[in-house]
Chain A
Amino acid sequence: MGGYIIKRVASAIVTIFAVATITFFLMFLVPGGPFLAEKAPSPQTLEALEKKYGLDQPVTVQYINYMKRLVLKLDLGTSLKKRGQEVNDIIRVRFPVSAKLGGIAVLTAVCLGIPLGSIAALNREKWLDRTIMAIATVGNAIPSFVVATVLMYVCGVVLRILPTLGLTSPAHYVLPVISLSFYPTAYIARLTRTSMLDVLGQDYMRTAKAKGLSRFKSLFKHALRNAVLPVVTYLGPLLAFIMTGNFVVERIFTIPGLGSEFISSITDRDYPLIMGTTIFLATLLIVLNVIVDIAYKIIDPRIKLK
């Protein structure tokens, strides 16, 4: 177990390092640097700016400086468009908003998807199963921006029952959370149904029935416990999905989170901010994935430790 954890952590560190390097060098492909926006500054200003941000030095020196700051001080640099604002500060302010929204969405997807999938499996080939699976199949085909915009129009503009802008009250969370968790809920429901059907056909379920265990007990103690294992493996992709979903959902509902900040930094071509956010989110995802993987190995001892 210890060996596995060390291996996983080491490979995660390599990946994070690779992402940081790719990010840095990709930003170098952009000609003229980050100051060449709509209105070009005068050559003198440009030179002064480049000097200030160390852009006049050779690539290798800049890379080493950048990495040094990143590793030793965890410093992601300064935003170019928002004068003087540290990327770290922007993330510190914006990220909790996104994390809260994303966390609620993850919980919703898991808490809705597993019961729905189990109900479908227990009513196999009946109308309830067919309805749930039809909805899940359609749900798996709708991008989150479509869910979000349509919900916004129907609930916010036509029916006017829910607020659509910002995140100031609990009611504000309803639409963004539905938009974010729609696809993963559908996916988890399908996943749970398949594995539940598999588990229900196992010998130990028959044994449980034969030894007189109540249906409730056999379902919760034996079936569900084994059936949710594949859902644990989906948690990694789920987190990634919620994160990207956050980008568009925050933009649509004008939520002041890190996602909408990231999108506007792309439109603004604010390169340090793009870089910083990418590295931060990538690190977060990679770390979360390592935790999920290790947790999976602990939960299911049958999985061989590589």
Chain B
Amino acid sequence: MRYFAQRFGFFILSLWAAITINFLLPRFMPGNPAEVMITRYQGRLNPLVLHSLELQFGISHQPLWQQYVTYVQNMIHGQFGLSITYYPVPVISVIENSLPWTLGLAGTATVVSSILGVLLGIFAAWKRGGMADTLLPVVTTFTSAIPYQWLALLLLYIFGFSLGWFPTAHSYSATLSPSLHPAFIGNVLDHAILPATTMIVTALGGWLLGMRNNMIHTLGEDYVVFAEAKGVTQKRLKYMYAARNAMLPSLTGFGMALGFVVGGSVLVESVFSYPGIGYQLVTAVQNEDYPLMQGLFLIIAVSVLLANFIVEMLYGKLDPRVKKGGAGRS
């Protein structure tokens, strides 16, 4: 219970930090970017909307702390204001429409790449010094240094444009309407394959290396040597004894990896015009749609924080030591 409270406290604290960053940034940037934006839209937007924009971005005579209190209240209630790009659609509904796409895409990509990477890591460590162990880490150092957008462009060109195997943009064909019909689901998967592959390829290396190193460490532990001496079968030794324990540190990496994937998905979605959070973020930035941008940033942060929180909870279940605070984690 104490562990839960601690983790939950941390979740709230980081959420508060994300909101505060959002609040402070436009207010302390040189040249007051929000003011520039608002004067640009003078006469083009409803004066009431302009006024609420002014309040949201700190162009008012209220003292800072008062602005801050109102701001935090608005954020907690999901009142992110109106999007300028999609005027007069509220930011929250833009988010509602795009979040599922990113969660589906980035979530699947993370799960697939982590499972694949961990399995390959186990394999490399087990065949220590073999062909796979020498080659895999080197190959994956290359793949994990590839810029997301570059790989995305190449895949798009080769498999989408030249070969015509996969669609080149959007999350489903315009001729279909969203439903749970198999044809629609197949269409969605078809659209997701290239962007997901981009993320999986670039994220694989981290998982592989981390797992390999942990696995080698675990294989050197006394209890593994003892189990081998006791005559435990090789397969059991590999998965039940070594891999199971070596996987724990990889699991804590999961939450952070999600953060990277979300970052990467910004670039990938922008190349594939995939209508997720990342694509909207780029659109917002290009249109200087600050309310939309702030809302999206907050939602991205919250998703990563939540994922982290869930992983921490799972971790507490899987490794009871952390609950007792023995492992020195704060």
Same complex: no
Residues of A in contact with B (beta carbons under 8 Å apart)? none
